[in-house]
């Protein structure tokens, strides 16, 4: 104990002007974090008095079941104080049973004891990294892919090997070549259904071949499946987890209830789940126990019908966007035609830079996500991700018109 116990009215701030600089103590892995993408997007809103924003990858506010959430919240709080202590590290058991039941129609034979409730599927990605990856380990992933995943992988000092894609997802020949070139690859990360950002869906034949390749080389598969329930056309395709019980499957309620509840899950084989749970316990102990009950009481007997009721709205918005693109875009511009999810992927002519166009587009009143953010190497600049989920149809038409006007002016 210090001998000097004299109280002072001002704290000692000599450190603030000294030579000490805590930046020299930062962990090397923080070097992966550059300027915030969200800061850049928010700055674009300053360019126009009435911007139309095609960036949200989330449900429309009008599709969030607010009345049901309020009712479910009252029911959840009725269980307090019994659920306000520590506990339920794996997740609220009735919710885990409900998740397992909702996965069975997808063809995934899982059970409550193989489910870990997470704080969104992004926590599931982070926990999988804790379980599988050491610095320098190789992760094979789609090119382009979910930008949040690449940031998590890089924060764990993984080496990312992008696999080329087409409108049906990851190209299996390219994956096989990468597995031969990287025989010690640890993980394949994929969003095979209504992929973010392209909207593409991998057909059943590719899924089987992907699983076979991973099994033959003992590579972990991390399947991220947030949009699977949001199908507007075509026949459902089983998740990869339906082909192999060793697939680590990530799901979320962010797209079907609300992203703000931060509730998702991982389904995994027992040995993997044991370590996911152990790493989760040292991270944040457990999900919010009240929130898990709110989600359960919202989903139980309600969510299937609620999701079905949103599909017509999202389908109309998708169709509106596709029709508007066909009316205003130059012939040199191409775009995806997704069967579900929230995204349309725009490909501009080679040499046209969508990142450079973002400011002129914002000046013209339309804001989008430049596609280079979604490429792990940030090396392609002629693509754009548009989200239609939160934009009313008349605004979609106007926003696409503004975007087309910007592209014509640049061409």
Question: Residue 187 pLDDT > 70, yes or no?
Answer: yes
Q: Which residue has the higher pLDDT, 131 or 82?
A: 131
What long-range pairs does 59-62 form, CB within 8 A, spacing at least 24? 59/255, 59/256, 59/257, 59/258, 59/259, 59/310, 59/389, 59/390, 60/310, 60/313, 60/389, 60/390, 61/390, 62/313
* Average of per-residue pLDDT values in the chain: 94
Can you tell me the mean pLDDT for 153-165? 97
* Structure confidence at residue 20 as a pLDDT band (50, 70, 90): low
Percent of the chain with pLDDT over 90: 90
Residue 68 Cα distances to 98, 100, 257, 280, angstroms:
17, 22, 10, 29
pLDDT of residue 261: 96
pLDDT of residue 90: 98
Percent of the chain with pLDDT over 70: 95
Can you tell me the mean pLDDT for 111-121? 97
* Structure confidence at residue 32 as a pLDDT band (50, 70, 90): confident
pLDDT of residue 13: 47
Neighbours of 410 (CB within 10 A): 15
- 3-class DSSP state of 359: helix
pLDDT of residue 4: 40
pLDDT of residue 8: 42
* Structure confidence at residue 88 as a pLDDT band (50, 70, 90): very high
pLDDT of residue 9: 46
pLDDT of residue 29: 84
* Structure confidence at residue 35 as a pLDDT band (50, 70, 90): confident
- Residue 311 — φ and ψ, nearest 5°? -65, -40
pLDDT of residue 138: 98
Structure-token pair, residue 182: 């990287």
What long-range pairs does 174-177 form, CB within 8 A, spacing at least 24? 175/140, 175/210, 175/213, 176/213
Can you tell me the mean pLDDT for 345-365? 97
Q: Which residue has the higher pLDDT, 237 or 24?
A: 237
Distance CA 302, CA 58 (A): 20
Can you tell me the mean pLDDT for 346-374? 97
pLDDT of residue 30: 86
- 3-class DSSP state of 195: coil
- Domain positions in the chain: 36-64+305-410, 85-301
* Structure confidence at residue 38 as a pLDDT band (50, 70, 90): confident
Question: Residue 257 pLDDT > 70, yes or no?
Answer: yes
pTM for the model = 0.93
CATH code for the domain defined by 85-301? 3.40.640.10
Helices assigned H by DSSP within 78-132: 93-103, 120-132
CATH number assigned to the domain with residue range 36-64+305-410, chosen from the 4 options 3.90.1150.10, 3.40.50.1100, 3.40.605.10, 3.90.550.10 = 3.90.1150.10
């Amino acid at each position: 104990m210090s001998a000097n116990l004299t109280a002072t009215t001002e704290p000692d701030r000599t450190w603030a002007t000294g030579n000490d600089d805590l930046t020299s103590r930062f962990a090397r892995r923080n070097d992966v974090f550059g300027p915030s993408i969200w800061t850049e997007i928010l700055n674009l809103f300053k360019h126009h008095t009435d911007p139309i924003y095609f960036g949200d990858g989330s449900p429309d506010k009008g599709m969030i079941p607010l009345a049901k959430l309020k009712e479910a919240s009252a029911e959840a709080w009725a269980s307090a104080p019994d659920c306000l202590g520590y506990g339920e590290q794996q997740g609220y058991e009735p919710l885990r049973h409900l998740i397992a039941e909702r996965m069975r129609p997808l063809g995934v034979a899982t059970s409550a004891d193989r489910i870990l409730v997470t704080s969104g599927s992004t926590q599931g990605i982070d926990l999988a990294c804790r379980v599988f990856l050491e610095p320098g380990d190789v992760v094979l992933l789609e090119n382009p892919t979910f930008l949040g995943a690449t940031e998590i992988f890089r924060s764990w000092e993984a080496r990312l090997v992008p696999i080329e894609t087409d409108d049906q997802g990851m190209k299996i020949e390219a994956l096989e070549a990468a597995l031969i070139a990287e025989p010690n690859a640890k993980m394949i990360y994929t969003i095979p259904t209504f992929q973010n950002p392209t909207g593409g869906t991998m057909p059943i034949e590719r899924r089987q071949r992907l699983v076979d390749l991973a099994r033959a080389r003992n590579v972990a598969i991390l399947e991220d499946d947030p949009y699977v329930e949001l199908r507007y056309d075509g026949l459902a395709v089983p998740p990869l987890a339906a082909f192999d019980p060793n697939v680590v499957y990530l799901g979320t309620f962010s797209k079907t209830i609300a992203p703000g509840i931060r509730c998702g899950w991982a389904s995994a084989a027992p040995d993997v789940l044991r370590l996911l749970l152990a790493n989760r316990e040292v991270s944040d102990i457990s999900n919010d126990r009240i929130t898990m009950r709110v989600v359960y009481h919202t989903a139980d007997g309600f969510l299937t019908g609620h999701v079905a009721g949103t599909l017509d709205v999202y389908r109309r918005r998708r169709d509106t966007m596709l029709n508007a693109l066909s009316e205003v875009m130059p012939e040199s511009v191409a775009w995806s035609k997704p069967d579900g999810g929230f995204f349309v992927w725009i490909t501009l002519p080679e040499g046209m830079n969508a990142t450079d166009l973002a400011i002129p587009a914002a000046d013209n009143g339309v804001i989008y996500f430049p596609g280079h953010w979604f490429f792990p190497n940030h090396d392609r600049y002629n693509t754009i991700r548009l989200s239609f989920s939160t934009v009313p149809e008349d605004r979609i038409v106007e926003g696409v018109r503004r975007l087309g006007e910007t592209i014509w002016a640049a061409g």
